[in-house]
Amino acid sequence: MKSVEEMSVSQTELNSKLEPNSEGEVYIAPRNSIELQLAQIWEQVLEIQPISIIDNYFDLGGDSLRALRLFDHIEQTFGKKLSLATLIQAPTLEQLAEVIGQESESVSFRSLVPIQPSGSKPPLFCMHGNGAHVLAFQDLAQYLGADQPFYGLQARGVDGFTTPLNRIEDMAAAYIEEIRAVQPEGPYYLAGFSSGGVVAFEMAKQLHAIGEKVAFVGLLDTFVPGCFKKVTVPEWFSRQWRNFWRFGLKHPAKMAYRSLERKWYVVYWSTYLKLAGSLPYFWHRKYVGYSIRKAMRTYTFQPYAGKLTLFRATEVPGKGWYYYPSGMPTPDDWYTKDPEYGWGNLAEGGLEAHDLPGNHSTILKEPHIQVLSKTLETCLEKARSEVTVEELTQA
């Protein structure tokens, strides 16, 4: 990345310019060095040129994967560690530059992110998945409409400073404390994507234990680890042989590399934390994901007194799933899984399941998110109606 001196421009170039582009849209040029450097980063990450300071990151096609690259560049260039959720509150280049330019370094971290806080309906609180951030919920909140308040819960540690939590019970307790600051009393409407569904499940249990009503618990393609058939040693070797013929030598090489890489991460993290007390931003984010996976491995599932609503992706995950850590399902497992994803015996109030187009990695993306949002909206409306009937019955 170029230095400020190398990217110095004349005062005329730094002044705001209003120029229509080829499509007739207004272009406003960077007005100071921060906006100029940030514009160059955006152009590199989004591969779009030129970018106006009033352009919206999401309108330009920005997603969570590009956001990771974007914030790595921001940390390297400006020395600022920011949560990806910053893009939700400051989606334009101008707004993000203003955040970067703030002198204060001591911004208290909150897991609760108001993605769409307005509306007359009861708020929906949605928990992060293994990715730890909530950018993936941006489109879902928009599709649910302006009258549906929507809050995302991001994992502690995504800001690069706070210590990650590695127990589902602790995550649930911490998130309950934050959502009750917004909604002190139930009924609560909870949801979670992937491992976030397990956190929502545990939150519902903890809220129920203290006498609070939970009207809805949505599990967005969330599976209980034990819902997949246990693979015997001969079956495992049979799979590897079959995959060797499907993918060639790169398959065993990639599996070995990923396994050694994960072991190296654990050694690196523990050593670095002992010596330095904290991790660099890039490694800290990876450590958050590791902490979430550890929490999933050690969580003990116990039945929940209420009802659960499961949203199942119907398509097989991509071949990249063959290389996830041990305990994660592979595409082969999709044909042997429990159709209820292991939730049937855990939902004492009943399990309602809905099949959705797309796979685990695409149900929150276009075009599949449109079906998910409509199905979720219908389920929320049903839950609200049941609460109303119950209140009228008790009156």
What is d(CA 202, CA 208) in angstroms, rounded to the nearest whole number?
A: 10
Same domain, 324 and 363: yes
Instruction: Please give the DSSP secondary-structure letter assigned to residue 135.
Output: G
Examine residue 258 and state whether it is found in any structural domain, yes or no: no
Element (H, E) at 192: strand 188-193
Examine residue 265 and state whether it is found in any structural domain, yes or no: no
394 φ, ψ to 5°?
Answer: -80, -20
Query: How many CB atoms within 10 Å of residue 206?
Result: 15
pLDDT along the chain (395 residues), means of 10: 39 44 69 93 92 92 86 87 87 93 70 94 95 90 96 89 90 97 96 96 97 97 85 73 74 71 69 63 78 91 97 86 69 83 95 95 94 97 90 70
pLDDT at 331: 79
Same domain, 197 and 302: yes
Query: What range does the domain containing 83 cover?
Result: 11-101
Examine residue 279 and state whether it is found in any structural domain, yes or no: no
In this structure, is the dihedral angle defined by the CA atoms of residues 221, 157, 183 and 105, taken in order, positive or negative?
negative
51 φ, ψ to 5°?
Answer: -115, 130
Q: Specify the CATH number for the domain of residue 88.
A: 1.10.1200.10
Same domain, 126 and 219: yes
Same domain, 217 and 358: yes
Length of the chain: 395
Single pTM value for the model: 0.84
Examine residue 207 and state whether it is found in any structural domain, yes or no: yes
Do the Cβ atoms of 352 and 308 come closer than 8 Å? Answer: yes
pLDDT at 181: 95
Same domain, 218 and 138: yes
Final residue in a domain of this structure, among 101, 129, 161: 101
Query: How many CB atoms within 10 Å of residue 370?
Result: 12
Examine residue 245 and state whether it is found in any structural domain, yes or no: no
Query: How many CB atoms within 10 Å of residue 70?
Result: 22
What is d(CA 267, CA 21) in angstroms, rounded to the nearest whole number?
A: 51
Final residue in a domain of this structure, among 101, 129, 162: 101
Q: Specify the CATH number for the domain of residue 152.
A: 3.40.50.1820
For residue 31, give the 3-state DSSP assignment: coil
In 17-84 the beta strands, taken as DSSP E runs, fall at 18-20, 26-28
Q: In the chain, how many domains are there?
A: 2
Residue listed under structure tokens 């819902």:
227
Same domain, 126 and 20: no
pLDDT at 257: 66
What is d(CA 137, CA 156) in angstroms, rounded to the nearest whole number?
A: 17
What is d(CA 220, CA 197) in angstroms, rounded to the nearest whole number?
A: 6
At 193, list the tokens.
């994507």
Same domain, 213 and 140: yes
Q: How many helices (H) and strands (E) does the chain have?
A: 12, 9
Same domain, 200 and 308: yes
Same domain, 47 and 77: yes
In this structure, is the dihedral angle defined by the CA atoms of residues 124, 125, 126 and 132, taken in order, positive or negative?
positive
pLDDT at 105: 53
What is d(CA 292, CA 61) in angstroms, rounded to the nearest whole number?
A: 28
Examine residue 51 and state whether it is found in any structural domain, yes or no: yes
Same domain, 314 and 167: yes
Rounded alpha-carbon distances, angstroms, from residue 133 to 44, 178, 305: 22, 16, 29
Examine residue 308 and state whether it is found in any structural domain, yes or no: yes
Examine residue 289 and state whether it is found in any structural domain, yes or no: no
| Neighbour order of strands in the sheet with 351-356 | 112-116, 150-153, 124-127, 188-193, 214-220, 308-313, 351-356
Residue listed under structure tokens 């209140």:
391
pLDDT at 159: 81
Final residue in a domain of this structure, among 67, 101, 135: 101
Bridge pairing between strands 308-313 and 188-193: unpaired
Do the Cβ atoms of 58 and 90 come closer than 8 Å? Answer: no
Same domain, 91 and 195: no
Same domain, 355 and 301: yes
